[in-house]
Amino acid sequence: MKYHHGNLKENLIEQASIACEEFGWENISLRNLAKQLEVSQTAPYRHFETKEDLLAEVAAKGFRMMNDDMNKASNFLENGLAYCDFALKYQNTYDLMFGSYLGSFTQYPILMDASLTVFISLEKNLKDHFINSGHDDVSQEIIDEKAISVWAFMHGIAGILRKTESASIDDLSNENPIKIMINLSTNNWDEYIEKSINNILSI
């Protein structure tokens, strides 16, 4: 059994991130990660005092990945779509990022910084959108409010979309919101998102 690993902290975060998606963050243990990486059972504790400290790093990595995906978008609509794509592709990581398990982000500075980076990027992209639309005099207060509203909207949409993945449309009434979402995502999804975001951004 090895007692030293050159990049153990980074390897633990990477392995935990993979395990989070494969098995769920609830099933991650420092003991199992140590075994997989062929280090002593005590080695991970040199970098993380608790499992929660490691999971905070996994969640922070998730926010950085989300930020990278959103920043690849060429316009503000694509920002929103990138958010939903991430939520659907990395569902367990997304749940860890936004769930209640880790409690307040203030307990984990790296997690607070990573999540704040996403919001700052969202605000910057929103400001660029307003400037490109001929509204270069929008106040920071309005940008803050609109950014929160867009984030809340996309978060809600992502949650509903995840429900549609396991729903059978044949068993739902026409008035059921899940069926409505399934129809939208199949037919006019981009158009619906664009219309909804434009409604939020109207000034």
Q: What pLDDT was estimated at residue 183?
A: 66
Q: What is the pLDDT of residue 163?
A: 74
pLDDT reading at 34 higher than 70: yes
The CA distances from residue 164 to 25, 51, 68, 130, 160, in Å, are: 23, 32, 26, 33, 6
Q: Give whole-number Cα distances, 116 to 46, 64, 103, 105, in Å.
A: 27, 10, 16, 10
Report the interhelical angle of 51-71 vs 109-132 (nearest 10°).
10
30 — pLDDT class (breaks 50, 70, 90): very high
Task: Give the pLDDT score at 1.
Answer: 42
Per-residue model confidence (pLDDT) at position 77: 85
Q: Which amino acid is at 64?
A: R
Q: Cα–Cα distances in Å, from 30 out to 41, 76, 101?
A: 8, 40, 17
C-alpha span between 188 and 193 (Å, rounded) = 9
pLDDT confidence of residue 87: 94
User: Domains of the chain, with CATH numbers?
Assistant: 1-49 (1.10.10.60), 61-201 (1.10.357)
Q: Hey, CA dihedral for 20, 22, 26, 31, is it positive or negative? A: negative
The tokens for 170 are 């044949």
Beta bridge partners of 2: 39
Q: What pLDDT score was predicted for residue 101?
A: 93
Q: State yes or no: pLDDT of 38 exceeds 70.
A: yes
Q: What is the pLDDT of residues 148-170, one digit of tens each?
A: 999 999 998 888 878 766 555 56
Q: How far apart are CA 186 and CA 71, in angstroms?
A: 25
Predicted confidence (pLDDT) per residue in 60-99, tens digit: 999 999 999 999 988 888 888 899 899 999 999 999 999 9
152 DSSP assignment: H
| % of the chain beyond a pLDDT of 70 | 85
Report the C-alpha gap between 74 and 110 in whole angstroms.
Answer: 28
What are the angstrom distances between the C-alpha of 193 and each of 79, 86, 150, 154, 176? 11, 16, 11, 9, 19
Q: What is the pLDDT of residue 168?
A: 57
Residue 160: per-residue pLDDT: 80
List the structure tokens of 92: 């367990």
- Tell me the CA end-to-end span of the chain in Å, nearest whole number: 63
In the prediction, which pLDDT does 13 show? 96
Measured distance CA(24)–CA(12) in Å, rounded: 15
Mean pLDDT of the chain: 87
